[in-house]
Structure 1
Amino acid sequence: MCVVALAHRVHPDWPLILIGNRDEFHERPAAPLAEWTDGGGIVAGRDLQAGGTWLGVHRPSGRAVVVTNVRGAIPDPAKDSRGALVVDMLRGEGRFADPTAADLDRFNAFNLFAADGTARLLTNRPQPLIATLADGIHALANEPIDSPCPRAERLRAALAAVVEAGADPEGLLDTLTAEGDPALFLLGDVYGTRASTLVAVSAAGDVHMVERRYVGGGRPAGTTVLDFRIG
C-alpha cells in the first residue's frame, strides 16, 4: 500500500476510515480480500509470496493496520517481513504484536498506521518512531515521514472533504483512480496499483470493506465487498 489516509474519530458516522492504494509488482501473487481460514480472525488480502498482508482488520477486536514501503531504500532479504509485522499487530499475538522502537529496524523501510481505539504511527525512516496520533486526518505514502509528499496530501485533502461533508466514504474509491496531479493511481504494466481498498468502521462496530483489484495497465480484475460486525 503506497498511499493511504486515515480518519480517526472525526467522521460523524464512521469513526475509523482507512483508504488507500497498494502499489506492487504485478507478477507478485496475492489473494483477494477475504476472512482468512486459519481461525485468527484476520480479514485482509494476502501476499502469497511472503504470507503476510499490507492492510487488514482483526474481526474479533476491530483492530486495523496498514503498511507502506519507503521509496529509495534497498530491500534486504535477510530482514523480517513487513507483512508479518502487520499480521502480528492485527492478531495481538506473536513476536511483533506490540513492537518497540528497537524492533523496527528488523524490517525493511516502512511506514505504518495502526488503529485499535487509539491511532498510532510506526516508521523506521528516517529513524525508528512509534507515535500516538491525535484524532483527525492523517496520510502516508512511500516517502520518509519528514519529507513532503504530494500524493499523501492529495488523498488527505480528499478524505478531509468527505469528513467535513459527513459523506459516504465509499466515493473515495473513485478518487483513488481519478486522473490528477499528483497521480494516486499507477498504470504501469510491470509495477503499478494492484488494489484500492476502503475500510470504514461505524460507532456501532459495523465494518464495511471494499477492495478493487487491478492488473497491468490499470485494468480492473475484480471487486470484493465485505460487511461484518466486530466481535
Structure 2
Amino acid sequence: MIAKALGKPGGERDSRSMCVVAIALQIHPDWPLILVGNRDEFHARHAAPLGAWDDGSGIVAGRDLLASGTWLGAHPASGRIIVVTNVRGALPDPAKESRGALVVDLLRGDGRFADPVVADLDCFNAFNLLAIGDGKVRLLSNRPQPQILSLRPGVHALANEPIHSPCPRAERLRAALAAVVDSQTDPDRLLDMLSAEDDPALFLRGDIYGTRASTLVAVAADGSARMIERRYEAGGRPVGTTALQFRIG
C-alpha cells in the first residue's frame, strides 16, 4: 500500500491542492482496474468538464483552463490512464514545467515527456503521478527524491504527502475501495462516499476552496470502461455529472 500526495493539474501558482485518489489493481474479479478520487481546487479556477478533447489527441479528461492540462485522464485507444498529484509543503517554482502538461504527454504517448526517465522528474514542481498503460503501472515521484517505481496488484492510495509517508485521508479512501473489492460490489457506490456530508475527511465543502470533482474510472475484464465525473461548485453544491463508456486498449 502506498500513501502519498495528490495535487492539481498544470499551473504552478500554489501548493494548496489536497486531492485524494485510490486505485485497485488486478484484485476485483469483475473490474481489474478501479481508480477513484476527488480533485480539490479553488472554485475560481476554471475547468472544462470531462469529455473527449477536440484537439485530435484522443484524450478523455476534464481540462484545467488556466494551464490547459489535466489532473486525471484516459486515452482509450492506447489504454493509458494517468493521474497526477502535488506534494504539500513544497513552494512552487513558476519556471518549472507544467505538471498538467506531463499528464498530456504521457496520455498521448508523444511529446518531450511522453516516456520520462528519472532525470526528467526534477523539471517539475513537487508531484506524484500514477501512469497506467503499456502493460505496466508505474508511480513517478520527485519527492523525497526523483524515482520511478512499479506498482504490484493491490489497493493503493495517494493524498498530499511524500511517498511512503502516513496519510489518514489516503488511508480512508484506500479502506473504502478495499471494502468494495472485498464485497465484490459495483464500484459506482464509491462516488456517493466521496461526496458524503458526514465524511469531511474526503469531501471539502468550502466557498473559496474545496472539492471540485469526484471521478471514477472502472475497467472491466473484457476491456469495456466507464468514466464518471461529478462536479461541484462553492459550498459543495453539485453542478453536473458526466458519464462516459468506451473500450480501452
TM-score tier by shorter-chain length is over 0.9
TM-score by length of 1: 0.97
What is the CA-CA distance between 1:178 and the residue it aligns to?
A: 1.9
**Which of 100, 103, 107 matches 2:124?**
107
Distance in 2 (alpha carbons) for counterparts of 1:17 and 1:181: 21
**CA distance 1:104–1:85, change in 2 (3 Å):** same
Provide TM-score, normalisation by structure 2: 0.90
Tell me, which stretches of 5 or more residues in structure 1 are unaligned? Answer: none
Distance 1:33 1:223, change over 3 A: same
2:183: which partner in 1? Answer: 165
The residue number in structure 1 matching 2:12 is none
Matched with 2:82 is 65
Is residue 4 from structure 1 mapped to residue 21 from structure 2 by the alignment? yes
Q: When the two structures are aligned, how many residues end up with a matched partner?
A: 231
Please give the alpha-carbon distance, in whole angstroms, between the structure 2 residues aligned to 1:36 and 1:12.
31
Equivalent of residue 160 in structure 2, options 116, 119, 142: 142
Take 1:127 and 1:217, find their aligned partners in 2: how far apart are those partners? Answer: 37
Give the corresponding residue for 2:13: none
The amino acid of 2:227's aligned partner reads M
> 1:150·1:182 contact (CA, 8 Å) conserved in 2?
no
1:110-149, Cα deviation, whole Å (9 max, x unpaired): 1111111321111111111110001111110111113210
**Identity of aligned pairs, percent?**
74
Q: Which has the higher strand share?
A: 1
2:37: which partner in 1?
20
| Range that drifts further, 177-186 or 32-41 | 177-186
Go from structure 1 to structure 2 and tell me whether the alpha carbon gap of 1:182 and 1:143 turns closer, same or farther (over 3 Å shift): farther
Task: Give unpaired runs (5+ residues) of structure 2.
Answer: 1-6, 8-18
The offset of 1:179, in angstroms, is 4.2
1:226 aligns with 2:244: yes
- Aligned partner of residue 68 in structure 1, secondary structure: strand
Q: RMSD of the alignment, in Å? A: 1.2
Deviation of the 1:181 alpha carbon: 6.0
Separation in 1, partners of 2:142, 2:199: 28
